[in-house]
Structure 1
């Protein structure tokens, strides 16, 4: 899959997240936004998996350490959802680590606990 496809997909995901946020507003649990965003993306014909196990690969061994990707869209874009006061550097580090482990290029970090969703979205790339 190309970076152009990942970029196109990220725009669709952001649009769907904005639709969910407009409908629900801030203040709910992360799991509610995850379910609604998964539904919204599936309605658009996209393949969406939630709570995808992400093993750590150590010395060639796959170890299940309990990591889960919130959403994986089209096996191309990881979406990590938050409902926090503000996004912190640890959230960036988490998503970048998931991108490296999954060998993917693009991820979205979306904090639904903001009045205007565009202020809660970060796009991160794995170099």
Structure 2
């Protein structure tokens, strides 16, 4: 399954959750629901996954933690904020670059229209 195929499924599942729960809940609630839906759809998903990085001779075993990693390919960053900021996008870009992933998605469940709260971030895709 390609990154684009995975992202379409993630979008549809996020939309389903957004329609059922609405806006304004804690990110943790949306994360639990998305994990449930991903597993129900038969996708491999890891929650709160740590990523290691190396800087010269220095190795960080737990350098950062991703909200969800789907099929070892797509990084999902969940938000419940007023708007997606540039720093949110830059952070996801770093996760992609440092983990050698090609696609990430920011899903902001606090947006009245779900599609307006979704941002795809590509790294060499």
Shared fold (TM-score greater than 0.5)?
Answer: yes
Q: Give the corresponding residue for 1:23.
A: 20
Q: CA deviation at 1:42?
A: 0.5
> Per the alignment, in what secondary structure is the counterpart of residue 109 of structure 1?
strand
Q: Is the 8 A contact 2:53 2:63 kept in 1?
A: no
2-structure distance, mates of 1:56, 1:35 = 27
2-structure distance, mates of 1:85, 1:122 = 14
Q: Normalising by the residue count of structure 1, what TM-score does the alignment of the two structures yield? A: 0.92
Return 5+ residue gaps in structure 2 as ranges. Answer: none
**Alignment CA distance shift 1:17-1:62 (3 Å):** same
Relative to total residues, which structure has the larger strand share, 1 or 2? 2
Q: CA deviation at 1:66?
A: 5.1
Q: Give the corresponding residue for 1:59.
A: 56
Cα offsets for 1:53-80 (capped at 9, x unmatched): 1223211532145521000000010000
Q: Is the 8 A contact 2:10 2:38 kept in 1?
A: yes
Return 5+ residue gaps in structure 1 as ranges. Answer: none
Q: Give the corresponding residue for 2:83.
A: 86
> Following TM superposition, where does structure 1 have runs of at least 4 consecutive aligned residues deviating by more than 2 angstroms?
none
2-structure distance, mates of 1:17, 1:60 = 40
2-structure distance, mates of 1:125, 1:48 = 19
Q: CA deviation at 1:105?
A: 0.4
Q: Give the corresponding residue for 2:99.
A: 102
> Per the alignment, in what secondary structure is the counterpart of residue 55 of structure 1?
strand
Q: Matched residue pairs, number?
A: 124
